[in-house]
Amino acid sequence: ATGPAGETGATGATGPAGTTSGSNLLVNGGMETFTDSIPDGWTGPGADESEQENAVQGLIHSGQSAVKLKGKTGITSTSLSQRVAAPYTGCSYKCIFNAKCSGTTPALLATMTFYNTEGAVVGTPITLQMQEGSLPSDAGSYGTYFFMTPLADETVTEIEIKFDASGLDDNAIQNIYLDDVFLFN
């Protein structure tokens, strides 16, 4: 014989609702669409300092393309950035990206910066530095990198991801490739 059925317990998540996005907050983080050699959704390099790499063996991480940051005559550094709404406070934001280089001299500095409604920086920007010679350069080999912010306080309204590339040249020898950039909380 069995007794009467007990009460049904709680179902689903019990944490606060609406505090995580779970999806990429960046536009075109996969570097799949471009306008005038700059990935759509990104602010970036000057003319001729970036280009789209289309499904070239070893030059893309996934999908159909990646962005190549390159130098030009007299310019050995460039940057690529995107600023988006920071939809949640009281949480940290995480950035995962994939990078590689050609040559031996390129270096990469990745930065995440919080901003308030007035456009002023909130707190100290978080950086991740890949020194000269530390990025993978073998065909097909991308490195996957991760860094995160401290908790966003109530004044944070935007977050910017910026990549500063240096050690580039205008001979198509010293370049940096970026693909599959994710920002989430």
What digits encode the pLDDT tens for the residues 1-46?
A: 656 665 654 544 433 444 555 789 999 999 999 988 889 999 986 6
What local confidence, expressed as pLDDT, does residue 162 receive?
96
What local confidence, expressed as pLDDT, does residue 19 receive?
52
Q: What percent of the chain has pLDDT over 90?
A: 55
The SS3 assignment for 97 reads strand
Burial label for 71, CB within 10 Å (0-12, 13-18, 19+), is buried
Q: How far apart (Å, rounded) are the C-alpha atoms in residues 36 and 136?
A: 27
116/168: higher pLDDT: 116
Q: Decide: 53 and 178 in contact? Cβ < 8 Å.
A: no
Q: What is the mean pLDDT of residues 87-109?
A: 92
Q: Decide: 47 and 85 in contact? Cβ < 8 Å.
A: no
What local confidence, expressed as pLDDT, does residue 7 receive?
64
**Confidence at 59, pLDDT banded by 50, 70, 90:** confident
Q: How far apart (Å, rounded) are the C-alpha atoms in residues 137 and 101?
A: 5
What local confidence, expressed as pLDDT, does residue 75 receive?
78
Pair of tokens at residue 120: 């002023």
Residue 70: name the closest of 177, 143, 145 by CA: 177
Q: Between the CA of residue 184 and those of 25, 123, 129, what are the distances in Å?
A: 6, 19, 20
Does residue 47 surpass a pLDDT of 60? no
Pair of tokens at residue 19: 């505090």
Q: How far apart (Å, rounded) are the C-alpha atoms in residues 87 and 67?
A: 27
pTM score of the predicted model: 0.84
Instruction: Please name the residue that has the structure tokens 């599959």.
Output: 180
Q: What percent of the chain has pLDDT over 70?
A: 82
Does residue 57 surpass a pLDDT of 90? no
Mean predicted lDDT score pLDDT of the chain: 85
